[in-house]
Amino acid sequence: APISAADLDKIQVLGSGNGGTVYKVRHKETSEIYALKIFHDNSDSNFRRQLNSEMEILRHTDSPHVVKCHSIFQNPSGEFGIVMEYMDSGSLENVLKSEGAFSESKVADIAKKVLNGLHYLHSHKIIHRDIKPANLLVNSKMEVKIADFGVSKILGPTLDTCNSYIGTCAYMSPERLDSLTYGQNYNGYAGDIWSLGLTLMELYMGHFPLFPPGQTPDWPTLMCVVCFSELPSFPEGVSDEFRSFLHCCLQKESSKRWSVSKLLSHPFICKDSTIEEP
Ligand code: ADP
Protein backbone atom coordinates (compact mmCIF):
# COMPACT_ATOMS: atom_id res chain seq x y z
CA ALA A 1 0.00 0.00 0.00
CA PRO A 2 1.23 3.54 -0.64
CA ILE A 3 2.79 5.26 2.37
CA SER A 4 0.42 7.59 4.25
CA ALA A 5 0.82 10.05 7.15
CA ALA A 6 -0.18 7.39 9.72
CA ASP A 7 2.81 5.21 8.72
CA LEU A 8 5.35 7.92 9.51
CA ASP A 9 6.91 9.44 12.63
CA LYS A 10 8.16 13.01 12.29
CA ILE A 11 11.79 13.35 13.42
CA GLN A 12 12.56 16.99 12.67
CA VAL A 13 11.72 19.97 10.46
CA LEU A 14 14.15 20.22 7.54
CA GLY A 15 12.95 23.49 6.18
CA SER A 16 9.97 25.38 4.99
CA GLY A 17 9.36 27.26 1.83
CA ASN A 18 6.85 28.35 -0.58
CA GLY A 19 3.58 26.80 0.57
CA GLY A 20 4.91 23.89 2.59
CA THR A 21 7.05 22.47 5.36
CA VAL A 22 9.48 19.61 4.86
CA TYR A 23 10.05 17.06 7.64
CA LYS A 24 12.51 14.27 8.13
CA VAL A 25 10.35 11.21 8.91
CA ARG A 26 10.80 7.55 9.78
CA HIS A 27 8.56 4.79 8.48
CA LYS A 28 7.15 3.04 11.58
CA GLU A 29 7.44 -0.49 10.20
CA THR A 30 10.46 -0.44 7.92
CA SER A 31 12.46 2.27 9.81
CA GLU A 32 13.24 3.73 6.40
CA ILE A 33 13.95 7.49 6.46
CA TYR A 34 12.08 9.81 4.06
CA ALA A 35 11.45 13.49 3.57
CA LEU A 36 7.80 14.50 3.88
CA LYS A 37 6.59 17.76 2.39
CA ILE A 38 3.28 18.90 3.86
CA PHE A 39 1.49 21.67 2.02
CA HIS A 40 -0.19 24.23 4.23
CA ASP A 41 -3.88 24.19 3.64
CA ASN A 42 -4.59 26.96 1.26
CA SER A 43 -7.61 27.22 -0.97
CA ASP A 44 -6.05 29.81 -3.26
CA SER A 45 -6.48 28.56 -6.82
CA ASN A 46 -2.95 29.44 -7.95
CA PHE A 47 -1.65 27.43 -5.05
CA ARG A 48 -3.85 24.46 -6.01
CA ARG A 49 -2.54 24.58 -9.54
CA GLN A 50 1.03 24.74 -8.30
CA LEU A 51 0.44 21.77 -6.04
CA ASN A 52 -1.15 19.70 -8.77
CA SER A 53 1.66 20.56 -11.11
CA GLU A 54 4.30 19.50 -8.57
CA MET A 55 2.51 16.24 -7.82
CA GLU A 56 1.84 15.40 -11.44
CA ILE A 57 5.48 15.93 -12.34
CA LEU A 58 6.89 14.04 -9.36
CA ARG A 59 4.57 11.10 -9.97
CA HIS A 60 5.95 10.66 -13.46
CA THR A 61 9.66 11.20 -12.99
CA ASP A 62 12.08 8.37 -12.53
CA SER A 63 15.68 9.41 -12.82
CA PRO A 64 18.70 9.03 -10.53
CA HIS A 65 19.21 12.79 -10.95
CA VAL A 66 15.75 13.86 -9.85
CA VAL A 67 14.53 13.48 -6.24
CA LYS A 68 12.34 10.39 -6.10
CA CYS A 69 8.73 10.61 -4.99
CA HIS A 70 7.40 7.58 -3.11
CA SER A 71 3.82 8.59 -2.48
CA ILE A 72 1.37 11.43 -2.54
CA PHE A 73 -1.55 11.56 -0.12
CA GLN A 74 -4.20 13.77 1.36
CA ASN A 75 -4.81 13.28 5.08
CA PRO A 76 -8.25 13.50 6.74
CA SER A 77 -7.78 17.17 7.63
CA GLY A 78 -7.34 17.94 3.95
CA GLU A 79 -3.60 18.59 3.91
CA PHE A 80 -1.56 17.24 1.01
CA GLY A 81 1.70 15.45 1.56
CA ILE A 82 4.48 14.17 -0.68
CA VAL A 83 6.77 11.41 0.62
CA MET A 84 10.15 11.82 -1.03
CA GLU A 85 13.58 10.34 -0.96
CA TYR A 86 15.55 11.89 1.92
CA MET A 87 18.69 13.74 0.87
CA ASP A 88 20.86 13.75 3.98
CA SER A 89 23.12 16.70 3.14
CA GLY A 90 20.27 19.12 2.39
CA SER A 91 20.34 21.66 -0.42
CA LEU A 92 23.36 23.21 -2.12
CA GLU A 93 22.23 26.47 -0.55
CA ASN A 94 22.65 24.88 2.91
CA VAL A 95 26.05 23.38 1.93
CA LEU A 96 27.21 26.74 0.57
CA LYS A 97 26.25 28.46 3.84
CA SER A 98 28.00 25.91 6.02
CA GLU A 99 31.09 25.15 3.93
CA GLY A 100 31.63 28.30 1.87
CA ALA A 101 32.45 28.61 -1.83
CA PHE A 102 33.18 25.48 -3.88
CA SER A 103 36.32 24.63 -5.82
CA GLU A 104 36.14 24.60 -9.59
CA SER A 105 36.40 20.82 -9.79
CA LYS A 106 33.52 20.45 -7.36
CA VAL A 107 31.45 22.88 -9.43
CA ALA A 108 32.27 20.86 -12.57
CA ASP A 109 31.09 17.68 -10.86
CA ILE A 110 27.83 19.34 -9.78
CA ALA A 111 27.35 20.83 -13.25
CA LYS A 112 27.58 17.37 -14.80
CA LYS A 113 25.08 15.87 -12.35
CA VAL A 114 22.55 18.69 -12.72
CA LEU A 115 22.91 18.58 -16.52
CA ASN A 116 22.08 14.87 -16.39
CA GLY A 117 18.96 15.71 -14.40
CA LEU A 118 18.00 18.49 -16.79
CA HIS A 119 18.64 16.16 -19.72
CA TYR A 120 16.12 13.76 -18.26
CA LEU A 121 13.56 16.53 -17.63
CA HIS A 122 14.00 18.31 -20.96
CA SER A 123 13.81 15.05 -22.91
CA HIS A 124 10.48 14.42 -21.13
CA LYS A 125 9.32 17.91 -22.08
CA ILE A 126 9.48 19.18 -18.52
CA ILE A 127 10.86 22.66 -17.91
CA HIS A 128 11.92 23.06 -14.29
CA ARG A 129 11.77 26.89 -14.16
CA ASP A 130 13.27 27.21 -10.69
CA ILE A 131 16.83 25.89 -10.85
CA LYS A 132 18.78 27.48 -7.97
CA PRO A 133 21.02 26.24 -5.13
CA ALA A 134 18.03 25.77 -2.75
CA ASN A 135 16.40 23.34 -5.18
CA LEU A 136 19.41 21.09 -5.75
CA LEU A 137 19.65 18.46 -3.02
CA VAL A 138 22.73 16.49 -2.01
CA ASN A 139 23.37 13.30 -0.09
CA SER A 140 26.43 11.73 1.50
CA LYS A 141 26.86 9.47 -1.53
CA MET A 142 27.74 12.72 -3.32
CA GLU A 143 24.65 12.50 -5.47
CA VAL A 144 23.05 15.78 -6.55
CA LYS A 145 19.37 15.72 -7.49
CA ILE A 146 16.89 18.25 -8.77
CA ALA A 147 13.96 18.96 -6.43
CA ASP A 148 11.00 21.26 -6.04
CA PHE A 149 8.75 21.29 -9.03
CA GLY A 150 6.51 23.95 -7.50
CA VAL A 151 6.70 26.31 -10.44
CA SER A 152 7.53 23.81 -13.17
CA LYS A 153 5.86 23.52 -16.48
CA ILE A 154 2.23 24.40 -15.92
CA LEU A 155 2.29 27.35 -13.60
CA GLY A 156 4.88 30.07 -13.77
CA PRO A 157 5.03 32.89 -11.27
CA THR A 158 3.37 36.17 -12.15
CA LEU A 159 4.84 39.61 -11.58
CA ASP A 160 2.86 39.58 -8.40
CA THR A 161 4.43 36.45 -6.96
CA CYS A 162 7.79 37.72 -8.19
CA ASN A 163 7.59 40.71 -5.92
CA SER A 164 7.13 38.43 -2.95
CA TYR A 165 9.61 35.75 -4.09
CA ILE A 166 12.47 37.79 -5.48
CA GLY A 167 14.73 34.86 -4.51
CA THR A 168 13.22 32.76 -7.25
CA CYS A 169 13.00 35.53 -9.82
CA ALA A 170 16.66 36.44 -9.36
CA TYR A 171 17.68 33.29 -11.26
CA MET A 172 15.34 33.91 -14.18
CA SER A 173 16.69 34.45 -17.67
CA PRO A 174 16.30 37.80 -19.44
CA GLU A 175 13.60 36.42 -21.78
CA ARG A 176 11.71 34.98 -18.82
CA LEU A 177 11.69 38.31 -16.95
CA ASP A 178 10.65 39.96 -20.20
CA SER A 179 7.78 37.54 -20.65
CA LEU A 180 6.55 38.20 -17.11
CA THR A 181 6.50 41.89 -17.89
CA TYR A 182 5.37 41.91 -21.50
CA GLY A 183 3.77 38.47 -21.89
CA GLN A 184 6.07 37.35 -24.70
CA ASN A 185 6.74 33.76 -25.61
CA TYR A 186 10.14 32.29 -25.03
CA ASN A 187 12.02 29.02 -25.29
CA GLY A 188 11.53 27.64 -21.81
CA TYR A 189 14.28 25.03 -21.95
CA ALA A 190 16.92 27.71 -22.43
CA GLY A 191 15.66 29.44 -19.27
CA ASP A 192 16.77 26.45 -17.18
CA ILE A 193 20.25 26.74 -18.72
CA TRP A 194 20.54 30.40 -17.72
CA SER A 195 19.52 29.53 -14.15
CA LEU A 196 22.06 26.71 -14.10
CA GLY A 197 24.79 29.14 -15.20
CA LEU A 198 23.98 31.59 -12.42
CA THR A 199 23.73 28.76 -9.89
CA LEU A 200 27.19 27.39 -10.78
CA MET A 201 28.67 30.86 -10.65
CA GLU A 202 27.15 31.38 -7.23
CA LEU A 203 28.60 28.10 -5.94
CA TYR A 204 32.04 29.19 -7.11
CA MET A 205 31.83 32.81 -5.86
CA GLY A 206 29.98 32.05 -2.63
CA HIS A 207 27.20 34.59 -3.18
CA PHE A 208 24.57 35.40 -5.81
CA PRO A 209 26.77 36.60 -8.69
CA LEU A 210 24.73 39.57 -9.94
CA PHE A 211 24.78 41.51 -6.67
CA PRO A 212 27.30 42.22 -3.93
CA PRO A 213 27.15 39.72 -1.03
CA GLY A 214 24.16 40.17 1.26
CA GLN A 215 22.24 42.51 -1.03
CA THR A 216 18.60 41.75 -1.89
CA PRO A 217 17.57 43.80 -4.91
CA ASP A 218 14.15 45.21 -5.62
CA TRP A 219 12.30 44.22 -8.78
CA PRO A 220 13.40 47.07 -11.15
CA THR A 221 17.04 46.65 -10.15
CA LEU A 222 16.92 42.92 -10.76
CA MET A 223 15.20 43.40 -14.13
CA CYS A 224 17.79 45.95 -15.15
CA VAL A 225 20.79 43.86 -14.15
CA VAL A 226 19.55 40.59 -15.69
CA CYS A 227 18.27 42.05 -18.94
CA PHE A 228 20.62 44.93 -19.68
CA SER A 229 23.84 44.92 -17.70
CA GLU A 230 27.08 43.21 -18.57
CA LEU A 231 27.64 40.00 -16.67
CA PRO A 232 30.02 40.29 -13.74
CA SER A 233 33.60 39.44 -14.53
CA PHE A 234 34.84 36.15 -13.20
CA PRO A 235 37.39 36.09 -10.42
CA GLU A 236 41.05 35.50 -11.28
CA GLY A 237 42.07 31.88 -11.52
CA VAL A 238 38.99 30.56 -13.30
CA SER A 239 39.98 28.09 -16.06
CA ASP A 240 39.21 28.79 -19.72
CA GLU A 241 36.88 25.79 -19.71
CA PHE A 242 34.79 27.12 -16.82
CA ARG A 243 34.71 30.62 -18.30
CA SER A 244 33.60 29.24 -21.67
CA PHE A 245 30.95 27.00 -20.05
CA LEU A 246 29.41 29.94 -18.19
CA HIS A 247 29.56 31.98 -21.37
CA CYS A 248 27.54 29.25 -23.16
CA CYS A 249 24.92 29.22 -20.35
CA LEU A 250 24.68 32.95 -19.77
CA GLN A 251 23.99 34.24 -23.26
CA LYS A 252 21.32 36.93 -22.86
CA GLU A 253 19.75 35.91 -26.15
CA SER A 254 18.14 32.55 -25.50
CA SER A 255 18.66 31.22 -29.03
CA LYS A 256 22.43 31.53 -28.55
CA ARG A 257 22.44 29.60 -25.30
CA TRP A 258 23.59 25.99 -25.52
CA SER A 259 21.18 23.09 -25.03
CA VAL A 260 21.65 20.48 -22.31
CA SER A 261 23.00 17.86 -24.74
CA LYS A 262 25.52 20.27 -26.19
CA LEU A 263 26.66 21.35 -22.72
CA LEU A 264 27.14 17.72 -21.70
CA SER A 265 29.92 17.52 -24.28
CA HIS A 266 31.51 20.84 -23.28
CA PRO A 267 35.17 20.48 -22.15
CA PHE A 268 34.28 21.77 -18.65
CA ILE A 269 32.14 18.62 -18.25
CA CYS A 270 33.76 16.29 -20.72
CA LYS A 271 37.52 16.69 -20.39
CA ASP A 272 38.49 15.35 -23.80
CA SER A 273 36.61 17.84 -25.95
CA THR A 274 37.79 21.30 -26.97
CA ILE A 275 36.38 24.78 -26.44
CA GLU A 276 33.95 26.12 -29.03
CA GLU A 277 32.32 29.55 -28.82
CA PRO A 278 28.50 29.78 -28.51
P1 ADP B 1 11.26 25.82 -1.33
O2 ADP B 1 11.81 26.74 -0.29
O3 ADP B 1 11.99 25.93 -2.64
O4 ADP B 1 9.77 25.84 -1.50
P5 ADP B 1 10.91 23.22 -0.09
O6 ADP B 1 9.75 23.73 0.69
O7 ADP B 1 10.67 22.14 -1.08
O8 ADP B 1 11.67 24.37 -0.83
O9 ADP B 1 12.02 22.73 0.92
C10 ADP B 1 12.50 23.51 1.99
C11 ADP B 1 13.84 22.96 2.46
O12 ADP B 1 13.68 21.63 2.97
C13 ADP B 1 14.89 22.82 1.35
O14 ADP B 1 15.59 24.00 1.13
C15 ADP B 1 15.77 21.71 1.88
O16 ADP B 1 16.75 22.22 2.76
C17 ADP B 1 14.80 20.83 2.66
N18 ADP B 1 14.38 19.67 1.84
C19 ADP B 1 13.40 19.65 0.90
N20 ADP B 1 13.25 18.43 0.36
C21 ADP B 1 14.16 17.63 0.96
C22 ADP B 1 14.54 16.23 0.81
N23 ADP B 1 13.93 15.43 -0.08
N24 ADP B 1 15.53 15.76 1.59
C25 ADP B 1 16.15 16.58 2.48
N26 ADP B 1 15.87 17.89 2.66
C27 ADP B 1 14.89 18.42 1.91
Nearest CA to ligand 1 atom 7: 148
DSSP state of 133: G
What is the pLDDT averaged over residues 146-154? 66
Q: Which residue among 8, 94, 137 has the greatest number of ligand 1 atoms within 8 angstroms of its CB, and so is best to mutate?
A: 137
Q: What distance, in Å, lies between the first and last C-alpha atoms of the chain? A: 50
Measured from the CA of 88, which atom of ligand 1 is nearest?
25
pLDDT digits (tens, 9 = 90+) for 40-83: 766 666 666 666 767 777 777 889 999 998 888 887 777 888 89
Burial of 9 (0-12, 13-18, 19+ CB in 10 A): exposed
Residue positions forming the annotated binding site for ATP? 37
Residues with a CB atom less than 6 Å from ligand 1: 14-18, 20, 22, 35, 37, 67, 84-87, 90-91, 94, 134-135, 137, 147-148, 150
**H helical segments located in the chain:** 45-60, 92-99, 104-123, 159-164, 166-169, 174-182, 188-205, 219-228, 240-249, 260-264
Q: Is 130 a catalytic residue?
A: yes
**What is the radius of gyration, based on Cα positions, of the chain?**
19
pLDDT, average across residues 139-145: 95
ipTM (interface predicted TM)? 0.94
CA 93 to ligand 1: nearest atom: 14
Q: Do 210 and 198 contact (CB within 8 A), yes or no?
A: yes
pLDDT tens by residue, 202-258: 999 999 998 888 887 788 888 888 888 888 777 778 999 999 999 999 998 888 999
Ligand 1 centroid–CA 185 distance in Å is 30
Environment class of 150 (CB within 10 Å of its CB; exposed 0-12, middle 13-18, buried 19+): buried
Residue 156 is predicted with a pLDDT of 46
Distances (CA, A) of 148 to 23, 28, 82, 176, 240: 14, 26, 11, 19, 32
Pocket probe for ligand 1: among 22, 53, 82, 164, the residue whose CB has the most ligand atoms within 8 Å is 22
Characterise 90 by phi-psi region: left (phi > 0), alpha (psi -120 to 50), beta (else): left
Residue 104 and residue 58: Cα distance in Å, rounded?
Answer: 31
Buried b / exposed e over 221-251, threshold 16 CB at 10 Å, is: ebbebbbeeebeebeeebeebbebbbbbbbb
The better pLDDT of the pair 97, 73 is held by 97
Percent of the chain with pLDDT over 90: 46
Provide the pLDDT for residue 187.
56
Of 249, 119, 110, nearest in space to 190 by CA: 249
From ligand 1's centre to the CA of 230, what distance in Å? 32
In angstroms, the CA 249 to CA 265 distance is 13
